[in-house]
Chains A and B, each alone.
Chain A
Amino acid sequence: MTTRTLDPVQRRAIRQRQLRRASVYALAILIALWILLPIWLIGTMAFSTQQDVYGYPKQIAPIPFTTETMEFFVNQEGILEATRNSVLVAVITLVLSTAIAAPAGYAISRYFFAGRDAFRLGILAVRAFPIVILAVPLAVTFIEWGMFDKVYSVALMHTALTLPTTILVVSSVFASIPREFEEAAKVFGCNAYQAFIRVVLPLVIPGIAASAIFTFVMSWNEVFAATLLTIRNRTLPALILYSLNKSSLQFQYAGGFFMLAPSLVFIFVIRRYLFNMWGQITK
Chain B
Amino acid sequence: MNKKKWNLAPYLLILPSFIYLAVFFAWPMVRSLQLAFVRDSQILPVLAEADPDADVVGRLEMQTQVAVVDRTRLDEVLPNGRTRPVYWFKIVGETEGGEQIEGWTHQKNVFIESRTTSETARVTSGEGAKEWTLDYVERMINDYRFTNALKTTLILIVLILPIQFVLAIVMALVLQAQLRGSTIFLYIYAIPLGISDLAAGLVWVSIFTQRGFLNTFLQQIGIINEPFIYLSADHQNWMIVAIVLAEVWRATSIVMVIVVSGLQAIPREYLEAGELFGASLWQRLRHIILPLLKPSLQVALILRTILAFQVFAVVVAITGGRVLTVLAYETYRWYDPGDSGFNNPNMAAAYAGFIMLISLAFAVFYLRTVRTQEEAARE
Contact = CB atoms under 8 A, between A and B. Distances in A.
Nearest to A256: B202
A60 interface: yes
Interface stretch (B112-120, B122-130, B271-279, B327-335): B327-335
Interface in B177-213: 177, 179, 183, 185-207, 209-213
Interface in A235-270: 237, 240-242, 244-245, 249, 252-253, 255-257, 259-260, 262-264, 266-268
B170 A281 contact: no
Interface in B131-190: 167, 170-171, 174, 177, 179, 183, 185-190
B93 to A, nearest CB: 32
Given A104-B16, A113-B10, A271-B190, A224 B206 contact: no
Contacts of A42: 202-203, 206
A224 B328 contact: yes
B45 interface: no
Among A136, A242, A262, A266, residue most surrounded by chain B Cβ atoms (within 10 Å)? A136
A217 to B, nearest CB: 5
A54 B149 CA distance: 32
B313 A278 contact: no
A129 B305 CA distance: 11
A132 interface: yes
Nearest to B312: A224
B77 interface: no
Contacts of B27: 141
A253 to B, nearest CB: 6
A269 B331 CA distance: 36
B303 to A, nearest CB: 6
Interface residues of A, number: 93
Interface string A128-168: 11111111111111000000000000001101100110010
B24 A271 contact: no
Q: Is the interface of A mostly helix, strand, loop or mixed?
A: helix
B199 A140 contact: no
Contact of A244 (B257, B320, B337): B320
B13 A35 contact: no
Given A32-B188, A116-B10, A24 B355 contact: no
B187 A137 contact: no
A133 B27 CA distance: 12
Given A54-B211, A128-B302, A113 B179 contact: no
A224 B332 contact: yes
A267 B194 CA distance: 7
B99 to A, nearest CB: 34
A107 interface: yes
Interface of A: 24-25, 27-28, 31-32, 34-36, 38-39, 41-42, 45, 54-58, 60, 99-101, 103-104, 106-108, 110-111, 113, 116, 119, 126, 128-141, 156-157, 159-160, 163-164, 167, 217, 220-224, 227-228, 231, 237, 240-242, 244-245, 249, 252-253, 255-257, 259-260, 262-264, 266-268, 271, 274-275, 277-282
Interface of B: 7, 9-14, 16-18, 20-21, 24-25, 27-29, 31-32, 34-35, 167, 170-171, 174, 177, 179, 183, 185-207, 209-213, 215-216, 219-220, 227, 249, 254, 257-258, 260-262, 264-265, 295-296, 299, 302-303, 306-307, 309-310, 312-313, 316-317, 320, 328, 331-332, 335-338, 340, 345, 348-349, 352-353, 355-356, 359, 363
Given A113-B10, A252-B202, 11 more contacts: A31-B174, A57-B216, A57-B220, A108-B14, A160-B20, A221-B199, A227-B336, A241-B313, A244-B316, A256-B198, A271-B183
